[in-house]
Amino acid sequence: MVSTEFFREAVSIDNIRSHIRALEGIRHPLAAPEALERAANYITETFRSLGYEMDEHRFLDKGRPFRNIIATRSGLSRPQERVVVLAHYDTVAGSPGADDNASGVAVLLEIASVLAEFRFERTIHFIGVNLEENESIGDPNSGTRGSRALAAYARENDWSIEGVVVLESVAYAGDFVVQNVPAGLAIPVSEAGNFIAVVGNVRSRELTEGFVRAVERYRVDLPHVVIEVPENGELLPDSRRSDHAPFWDNGFKAIMVTDTTNFRSPHYHQPTDTLETLNLEFAAKVCCATVGVILEMARFT
């Protein structure tokens, strides 16, 4: 087992800050297409500099080409079995998206950095996903277009996926942050927004349990709440609001790791969603816990 000290030394808050600073700014296919492409290039070059094999999953959206960026480290003994970690890199039209979702991408890149020298039995894909945000305001069914295309591609090509971890806004938290909850949530939740939520369906229970084990095993000081929904989350629509939902719909195990976005952050989808509002120590703890989950899922050799 990797030591607790390794995590404390390996995960860099400075790296996370640097990635968010590089990505911060409107990254939108219509409002800022050039910035969206710059973000894609930044993610690609960062993964490449870490020695990962690079590829792109290209898809069409209303006739326009877009890309999901895939960094791969092939497994040594079970390369056909895959672990997927992803975060979306686009924003809504009016927000610089530091938390949503430069924070998720920054943690994704830092996880890839921490694990760059490791080898695993299973193949790992680190993926920057495009077009997560809703195309139309008020239409929640117009989002997750990039992950829908990716999940369908994975199913059509018979990917054997052990699990998908989606990093969705992971850096807005604090003891004095007011936490709200979605209608219909049956479990008690702290009134302080100082925890990370881990959202999974029943099929994905081993992933949510794996996240909890990682927090405990590596002594990560990270309050956490597990939210488990039946089927594919239809009874709690807010549980489906990110790139894990298309993987649920295609029969894969997946979890969303999130700070709960609009249920605690007044900056959600606003011009004020900036680096200065974020809790990077919290993001680093999320990074540590997620590294622990991947070590277990991918089977560190």
SS3 of 126-166? EEEECCCCCCCCCCHHHCCHHHHHHHHHHHHCCCEEEEEEE
- Quick one: 139 exposed, middle or buried, by C-beta within 10 A (0-12, 13-18, 19+)? exposed
Largest CA distance in the chain: 49
Nearest to 257 by CA among 210, 186, 214, 197: 197
Q: Give pLDDT tens digits for 118-147.
A: 999 999 999 999 999 998 877 777 899 999
Please report the pLDDT score of residue 137 as a whole number: 76
284 vs 278: CA distance, rounded Å = 11
Please answer whether residues 223 and 142 qualify as being in contact, where contact means their C-beta atoms are separated by less than 8 angstroms: no
Q: Give pLDDT tens digits for 43-102.
A: 999 999 999 999 999 999 999 999 999 999 999 999 999 999 999 999 999 999 999 999
In this predicted structure, the answer to whether residue 245 has a pLDDT above a threshold of 80 is: yes
- All structural domains of the chain, each given as residue ranges with its CATH number in brackets, are 4-298 (3.40.630.10)
Please report the pLDDT score of residue 142 as a whole number: 85
148 vs 249: CA distance, rounded Å = 9
Please report the pLDDT score of residue 269 as a whole number: 97
Token couple for 143: 């989002």
Please answer whether residues 13 and 33 qualify as being in contact, where contact means their C-beta atoms are separated by less than 8 angstroms: no
- Token pair 């009874």: residue: 235
Please answer whether residues 178 and 191 qualify as being in contact, where contact means their C-beta atoms are separated by less than 8 angstroms: yes
In this predicted structure, the answer to whether residue 8 has a pLDDT above a threshold of 80 is: no
In this predicted structure, the answer to whether residue 151 has a pLDDT above a threshold of 80 is: yes
248 vs 83: CA distance, rounded Å = 15
Please report the pLDDT score of residue 292 as a whole number: 95
- Quick one: 156 exposed, middle or buried, by C-beta within 10 A (0-12, 13-18, 19+)? exposed
- 3-state DSSP call for residue 47? helix
Token couple for 69: 């960026």
Query: pLDDT over 90 for what percent of the chain?
Result: 92
Q: What is the full DSSP assignment across 206-263?
A: HHHHHHHHHHHHTT----EEEEEESTTSTTSGGGG-STHHHHHHTT--EEEEE--GGG
Q: Give pLDDT tens digits for 161-203.
A: 999 999 999 999 999 999 999 999 989 999 999 999 999 999 9
Answer whether 0.85 is exceeded by the pTM.
yes
Q: What is the mean pLDDT of the chain?
A: 96
Please report the pLDDT score of residue 5 as a whole number: 74
Please report the pLDDT score of residue 2 as a whole number: 78
Instruction: Classify strands 53-61 and 64-73 as parallel, antiparallel or unpaired.
Output: antiparallel
245 vs 204: CA distance, rounded Å = 12
Q: What are phi and psi of 47, to 5 degrees?
A: -60, -45
